[in-house]
Structure 1
Amino acid sequence: MKRIAALLAALTVAAGSLTGTAAAADDLARFHGQEVAWKSCGDPALDAAGVRCATVTVPLDYARPQGRTTTVAISRLKAADPARRRGIMLANPGGPGGSGLFATLHFKQAMTPEVVATYDLIGMDPRGVGRSERIDCGWPVGHMLWSSGVDREGFDRAVRTQADLARRCADKEGDRIAHFTTRNTARDMDVIRAALGEERISYFGMSYGTYLGAVFTQLFPHRSDRIVLDSAIDPDRYMAETIRTQGPENEAALDDWAAWTSERHAEYRLGRTRKQVRARVERLIEQAAKTPIRIGGYLLDEHFLPILLFTQLTDARRDAALAARVRQLADAAEGKQVVPSPELEAELSFMLKGKPEEWSVQAAVICGDAAVPRDPEVYWRAMRRSKASQPVFGGYANGITACAFWPKPVEPRTVVRNDVPALIVQTTHDTRTAYAEGKALRRAMSASRLVTLKDVRMHGVFGLLPNACVQKAVNTYFADGTLPAADLTCRAD
């Protein structure tokens, strides 16, 4: 009798589940069946390339699809050979918060004519981003991802500022902010698929875009076609633990850069040895903590100076640009009148003033995807533990963010465990998504293959760093669906 009762209960639950699935499909029917009206993008580069743009309406909250809606902007570059067209390929260049409308043009440059001929390339500004309906927390500074300082005074200042950033978002956006998450963006992708009349989606994602792609394969495995994930995030560590792993990786990259710079002391005058160059950088941060460094019209303190280094260490080809940047900072710290280079000027403005709507959605997604510790002392202790081994980046990698003061996520973190085929590309010295993260995603997606670009410091490969081995693997997979027979190791050209 117990077995019969258990069976009946299981059947009742199953029936309820099926009924709920059918009801959900019915609720989304008006979104799946909407007409997509393509028009000029109103951008010279996109229009000249033949790209067309449109807006798709999606539920703000998929748990209440009959409620409020929001809009998502998309772009399309049609397959070059309609007779051979096999479907659509969406792309996401990273972030979260990055615009993807232009991804069609960017990644197309690394694709073979065969791939370009057979796919409609679809760009997307994820919900909250760019031409999609935006969120804007009205922040007085740029993004929330900066160093929490070098001492207790700086840390306490960071705590107050991050709490204020979270409060501003809550005050301005209210409960709407809770629905700008990766899971909902993945659901938006499926609405786009249906509205375009497609059965499945092929996809190229870079950096954060790999997490979005992995979540999509978990939520919609039967809608996933050929998936490429470049510079991958371990979904079990997203996002706070991913940032934590960036500390050691960037300290190692800084050592590599310091050795390169020391060999060019006559040009940059930052030190004759790796140790001297690194010491110069650390002194600059300590000085900025006491008295912010004035460079051009900006004051640079210990919270943001490490981030100016961090942004350049992603690519070894930027070593010279980073050395020139540090030379400018050193001159400014010595009281010299320094006119920042156009590149440095743009980055200072972007980081310290920023685009509030872009940084707002980045915070909303990161904080809304996964909960983090709420006690500031947890971060303070982690920073102190990291100080000896991570003197430059420990305050960033272990620092507090607005997520510690954010409302609790409305859904749990997505657990990715599936057998959807995918191609994962990872460099061994990636400073943003460590090599171990790519290997972890390879394990989580059991039918995937990992392409390792060995002994290269680079974040993002396809379309950014020419490499014949990687490009062949990616283009072969997109062209005919063939994954490498086993994990593959590539070398720098």
Structure 2
Amino acid sequence: MTTTSAGDRHRGSRLRRLVTRTGPVAALCLAGALTLGAAPAAPAAPAATADPLDRYHHQHLTWKSCLLGPDDETGKELEQAGAQCTDVTVPLDYARPGGRTITVALSRIRATDSAHRIGALVLNSGGPGGPTIGDPPWVRKAMKDVGGRYDVVGVDPRFVGRSTALDCGWPTGSMIRGAGGDRAEFDRMVSFSAGLARRCRAHAGDLVPYASTRNSARDMDVIRAALGERRISYLGYSYGSYLGEVYTTMFPGRTDRVVLDGVIDPARYGPRLLRGTEAAGKHALRGWADWTAAHDEDYGLGRSGDAVLATVEEVQSAAERAPLRVGAYRVDDQVLPTLVFNGLSQDNPSAYGDFAQGVRELRRAAGGDPVSPSPWLAELLQFLLTGHDSAYGSAQTAILCGDGTAPRDPETYWRDLRRADPRDRFFAPVTNDINACAFWGPPRERPTALRADLPALLVNATGDPRTLYSGAETVHRGWPSSRLITLHDADQHVVFGVFGSACVDDAVNAYLASGRLPATDVSCPRIRS
């Protein structure tokens, strides 16, 4: 992630509510795959008449209503914003473009200022596995006046959302859990992870080998051509920053303005990306605890930050003794750290309040009281403990496992867990745990070697608990022509149009309007507009 936590899978609505889940449920754990350095020389372009992708590049797109039915809330929002939708046909396997095909779903709000139209702005809101088709309305709003100069295009990447589906039939929406407190619980996690991998081979083995960021980048270039654009602009959040890094490397010269928000260090990307984020997670937990203590009259979790943290620890201890009953769900000591992790990606009162209410309900359950979960907790438990969002977790895992190799020996993960801080009961047990990628087949391609420079605009908060600020600094150093917008003193994952910083939003929109990067890096205070 970022991979995503339960919250990143519907980023459009999540970001509008300022509540994202980019943790291991949606922000999975990833580890190193892309390296900074000069990209290999591109082969000479084949003659136009020999282009094996010609029929895809020049396909006719039929634009239609985005509304799939009376209960389609995403479709309703797109309709109200004036969007239309279509499907783009792409090869399943780019090595055999004449073979089986799949479809990738798009939405588009056309530019209203046609006299000053800049081009198409293609969006990716993260995951991997997060649908983006519903995002053009809120992104267009965040762009203010410059939005009317772009065709704003949302894309559900291959196997995601309304695109050809990859569904392994899982009993969960995520491969991520905490490791538990002893070897027996870890061994259960090993069996759980191996079972998820087996289900993917059984239910979607014909698609799984073709899930990867490189293939999503290839799809994006087919989309560019099918839209009739020589170059596209791009806005990528979280995992979308990695997709942007890969696309601009594989297809140099085909982008105009590039904004990457919540920047992934490509050297850390892979099935264990979240390793190393523990300190940022603990900092975010402390920030939430201090806010919750200041609102003790609303939540009753403690009148000081330390008291609130002690309450969370007590709930975890209760889950270790026996699973907590929360409505129809049972929350054990492997699930509870995942709930904590997922409660901490957005630094605002709405997200803090949702998480505080969830902890309040978990504490009541720990005391034996009957509990009906609030919407945030109910949605997250449904995501983690049922097959309701199996397709999301399946696609996310297939992409992560297809992009890089995870250690195969369970003992590697057990040793990492034993080396972790024993006082950390909520982050290290999640970020170091085994997952289904340990039982996956090898990737079909090597990771992408990142191009040596790109004049992109990078955005990151200093306290981002998912895509660490150090990752943005690393990419900025590797791309000396880039500029970095820093939001200070915020434990916030992704910023533009989400956090409410006029400083950040105005700087991004000025770049999207003019195509000129700021003369120097931009430093923004925590102040909200």
TM-score exceeds 0.5: yes
Instruction: Tell whether 2:134 aligns with 1:102.
Output: yes
Task: Determine the structure 2 residue equivalent to 1:138.
Answer: 169
The offset of 1:411, in angstroms, is: 0.6
The offset of 1:257, in angstroms, is: 2.1
Aligned residues of 2:338 and 2:426 also touching (Cα < 8 A): no
Aligned counterpart for 1:306 among listed residues 337, 354, 358: 337
Instruction: Tell whether 2:476 aligns with 1:442.
Output: yes
The offset of 1:247, in angstroms, is: 1.9
Aligned residues of 1:92 and 1:205 also touching (Cα < 8 A): yes
Task: Determine the structure 1 residue equivalent to 2:88.
Answer: 56
Aligned residues of 1:232 and 1:425 also touching (Cα < 8 A): yes
The one-letter code sitting in structure 2 at the alignment partner of 1:71 is T
Question: Which is further off, 170-179 or 258-267?
Answer: 258-267
Aligned residues of 2:167 and 2:391 also touching (Cα < 8 A): yes
Deviations 1:356-379 (A, max 9, x none): 111110000011011111111111
Instruction: Tell whether 2:390 aligns with 1:331.
Output: no
The whole-number CA distance in structure 1 between the counterparts of 2:163 and 2:292 is 43
User: Would the alpha carbon gap of residues 17 and 228 (structure 1) be closer, same or farther in structure 2, given more than 3 Å must change?
Assistant: closer
Instruction: Tell whether 2:314 aligns with 1:289.
Output: no
Higher helix share: 1
The one-letter code sitting in structure 2 at the alignment partner of 1:426 is N
Aligned residues of 2:275 and 2:431 also touching (Cα < 8 A): yes
Aligned residues of 2:271 and 2:437 also touching (Cα < 8 A): no
Task: Determine the structure 1 residue equivalent to 2:398.
Answer: 364
Instruction: Tell whether 2:430 aligns with 1:396.
Output: yes
Aligned residues of 1:154 and 1:289 also touching (Cα < 8 A): no
Aligned residues of 2:141 and 2:147 also touching (Cα < 8 A): no
Q: 1:236 aligns to what SS in structure 2?
A: helix
The offset of 1:62, in angstroms, is: 1.1
Q: How does 1:453-492 map to 2 (within 5 A)?
A: 453-492=487-526
- TM (norm. structure 1) is 0.93
The offset of 1:267, in angstroms, is: 4.3
Say which structure, 1 or 2, has more relative contact order (CA 8 Å, 6+ apart).
Answer: 2
Task: Determine the structure 1 residue equivalent to 2:234.
Answer: 203
Q: 2:44 aligns to what SS in structure 1?
A: helix
User: Would the alpha carbon gap of residues 190 and 457 (structure 1) be closer, same or farther in structure 2, given more than 3 Å must change?
Assistant: same
The one-letter code sitting in structure 2 at the alignment partner of 1:208 is Y
Deviations 1:27-82 (A, max 9, x none): 11111011111111122221222111111000111122122111101111100111
Aligned residues of 2:483 and 2:520 also touching (Cα < 8 A): yes
Instruction: Tell whether 2:187 aligns with 1:156.
Output: yes
**Percent identity of paired positions between Structure 1 and Structure 2:** 48
User: Would the alpha carbon gap of residues 348 and 24 (structure 1) be closer, same or farther in structure 2, given more than 3 Å must change?
Assistant: farther
The whole-number CA distance in structure 2 between the counterparts of 1:118 and 1:320 is 37
Q: 2:517 aligns to what SS in structure 1?
A: coil
Task: Determine the structure 2 residue equivalent to 1:229.
Answer: 260
The whole-number CA distance in structure 2 between the counterparts of 1:402 and 1:316 is 30
The offset of 1:286, in angstroms, is: 3.0
Aligned residues of 1:150 and 1:286 also touching (Cα < 8 A): no
Deviations 1:109-142 (A, max 9, x none): 11121x2222111111100011111010000122
Ranges in structure 2 where 5+ consecutive residues have no aligned partner:
1-40, 68-74
Task: Determine the structure 1 residue equivalent to 2:305.
Answer: 274
Deviations 1:160-215 (A, max 9, x none): 00000001001111142011111111110100111111100100011111111111
* Larger CA Rg, structure 1 vs 2: 1
Task: Determine the structure 1 residue equivalent to 2:380.
Answer: 347
Task: Determine the structure 1 residue equivalent to 2:18.
Answer: none
The whole-number CA distance in structure 2 between the counterparts of 1:302 and 1:81 is 54
- TM (norm. structure 2) is 0.87
Aligned residues of 1:416 and 1:445 also touching (Cα < 8 A): no
The offset of 1:238, in angstroms, is: 0.5
Deviations 1:463-489 (A, max 9, x none): 211111111111011101111112111
Task: Determine the structure 2 residue equivalent to 1:92.
Answer: 124
Instruction: Tell whether 2:73 aligns with 1:41.
Output: no
Aligned residues of 1:420 and 1:445 also touching (Cα < 8 A): yes
Task: Determine the structure 1 residue equivalent to 2:459.
Answer: 425
Deviations 1:61-104 (A, max 9, x none): 11221221111011111001112212111001111111111111
The whole-number CA distance in structure 1 between the counterparts of 2:301 and 2:147 is 47
Q: 1:56 aligns to what SS in structure 2?
A: strand
How many residue pairs match? The answer is 477
Q: 1:70 aligns to what SS in structure 2?
A: strand
Aligned residues of 1:99 and 1:126 also touching (Cα < 8 A): yes
Q: 1:88 aligns to what SS in structure 2?
A: strand
Aligned residues of 2:177 and 2:430 also touching (Cα < 8 A): yes
Deviations 1:418-437 (A, max 9, x none): 32211000000111111111
The one-letter code sitting in structure 2 at the alignment partner of 1:415 is A
The one-letter code sitting in structure 2 at the alignment partner of 1:132 is S
Task: Determine the structure 2 residue equivalent to 1:407.
Answer: 441
The whole-number CA distance in structure 2 between the counterparts of 1:360 and 1:427 is 29
Alpha-carbon RMSD across the aligned residues, in angstroms, is 1.8
Task: Determine the structure 2 residue equivalent to 1:5.
Answer: none
User: Would the alpha carbon gap of residues 268 and 118 (structure 1) be closer, same or farther in structure 2, given more than 3 Å must change?
Assistant: closer
The whole-number CA distance in structure 1 between the counterparts of 2:398 and 2:205 is 12
Ranges in structure 1 where 5+ consecutive residues have no aligned partner:
1-13
The whole-number CA distance in structure 1 between the counterparts of 2:381 and 2:201 is 27
